[in-house]
Chain A
């Protein structure tokens, strides 16, 4: 099934939540909808899953060999080819098995087939022995797994997941990610709304960044996360000077490498990590300082903004780096746009972490 959305718009109480959003979901894979809270991710997903009607724009669903269906006219038929999982998911009253079988039951699937498919789902989601448990009494992670299983048994072409692993225990989160990857490998399309950039990095093929009701960035996960504007992701996560890169070992030192720039850090982590630097912990110097600080990076001032008594100076050191200095320092150093400076910071000032 191919989904084409053209200029979708939606308002609630006069407030525009989505503004002329166009996108296409074609070909199997994992599509990630990323964006701050309130950016319209959930609303967009609800429109695509036909749970809500758009105020404007068109939605077309094209199945193999068909001319294309208009969402408004054919919604029940199309809806049966799609599944959506809320977070937190809601369990229907009854047992886990009742929940797993619900969609099959309303489709008139025979009892033996229902049992076969729900057994498979119980097995796949590590819920063996849970069949007779009252669904509402399960833990959040277990409930989320049952909700995924409830959709899996229906073998839908497209699965929508709203923040599928938010607030879950690590085991459940891992299982859910594994299942999402399996779905994609079986030729399904998975659309997930998430704020977890690590998850996007790990599993997504395609990324849409939704901001204030508009898709501001879209592209393959590789392009968007690694070649895009790194500072942008930092702002998105509320962190200054945030970079996604790799740790490399050089003799006894650890180097963080991103976009051809590298600096020394202190960390026990290996491989893909995030690093951030507090702008107030960076010293600017007009000459190459010899000090105990391990990192001295040459750069050019690209921007300077006065921010509450401080000057926020943006340097180009091969990537964008924000430094905060006092107005007095700024004046004394006689800095201006285009000035050549050195950014000096300790290896221990760099915070290195990995979200999992």
Chain B
């Protein structure tokens, strides 16, 4: 009870350390979600709008990649980015960039899978209608994306909330360095272990509010997508 009061106090009296952690979290998660969506949407368009051999295999592979545990992606990224790893010369391990890379890799399959099913749900007739009305290749792609815009937005939000709540992998590649790579989830984990509950609870409350907020937006967006 006392910890709860102290936590609220921390939030209300504007503790710069807390807000620095909150902003870094949002920044990193937003960056990885944006990069992932920029890669996932064209990929899902390429898969759904073309007929080629192995199409079903690709879709199956994408969907099975969704199941890869985050900690495995963290491990792979760590090995690649560590000083002796093949990408060690980038000196990215334990930087926000490393977190962004790992998070992006984590949610590309998720976003691609969700985008593919959104695009597949769009009837063939819609595309054909655009063609008969004179849409060329680019107008067609823009038109198709416009038709499924709410489902694509939902895919983005789902990916964003997935990385915002990610802990273990972020800890592995980010290192949870105070003031540099410490984000909400890793900070909560650390402070709790240290017995420093008020900071953990304060960050937990912020994370909870953001997560619930995202969920409300997601439901609203999905409601429109389902229409």
- Which residues of chain A have a CB within 8 Å of any CB of chain B? 49, 51, 76, 79-80, 82-84, 86, 89-90, 92-93, 102-103, 106-107, 136, 150-151, 154
Contacts of A107 in B (CB 8 A): 134
B129 to chain A, nearest CB (A): 5
Q: Is the CB of B133 within 8 A of A102?
A: yes
- Cα distance A20–B65 in the bound complex, in angstroms: 48
B24 to chain A, nearest CB (A): 38
Choose among B126, B131, B134 the residue that contacts A92 (Cβ–Cβ < 8 A): B126
Q: Is the CB of A86 within 8 A of B134?
A: no
Smallest CB gap from A91: residue in B: B129
Contacts of B136 in A (CB 8 A): 76, 106
Q: Is the CB of B134 within 8 A of A80?
A: yes
Q: Is the CB of B147 within 8 A of A92?
A: yes
Contacts of B139 in A (CB 8 A): 106
* Max count, chain A CB within 10 A of own CB: residue among B126, B128, B147: B128
Choose among A80, A89, A93, A154 the residue that contacts B147 (Cβ–Cβ < 8 A): A93
Whether a CB of chain A sits under 8 angstroms from the CB of B130 is yes
A183 to chain B, nearest CB (A): 16
- Cα distance A90–B132 in the bound complex, in angstroms: 12
Contacts of A79 in B (CB 8 A): 131-132, 134
In addition to A80-B134, A106-B134, 5 A-B residue pairs with Cβ atoms within 8 Å of each other are A83-B132, A102-B143, A106-B135, A154-B133, A154-B134
Whether a CB of chain A sits under 8 angstroms from the CB of B213 is no
Q: Is the CB of A86 within 8 A of B133?
A: no
A335 to chain B, nearest CB (A): 56
Smallest CB gap from B147: residue in A: A93
* Max count, chain A CB within 10 A of own CB: residue among B125, B134, B146, B147: B134
Known: A76-B136, A79-B134, A106-B136. A86 touches B147 (CB 8 A): no
Q: Is the CB of A90 within 8 A of B125?
A: yes
Q: Is the CB of A89 within 8 A of B129?
A: yes
Smallest CB gap from B127: residue in A: A90
* 21 A-B residue pairings within 8 Å (CB atoms): A49-B132, A79-B132, A82-B132, A83-B132, A83-B133, A86-B125, A86-B128, A90-B126, A90-B128, A92-B143, A92-B147, A93-B146, A102-B130, A102-B133, A102-B135, A106-B134, A106-B139, A107-B134, A150-B133, A151-B133, A154-B133
B122 to chain A, nearest CB (A): 10
Q: Is the CB of A84 within 8 A of B146?
A: no
Whether a CB of chain A sits under 8 angstroms from the CB of B123 is yes
Choose among B126, B132, B135, B147 the residue that contacts A84 (Cβ–Cβ < 8 A): B132
- Cα distance A92–B143 in the bound complex, in angstroms: 9
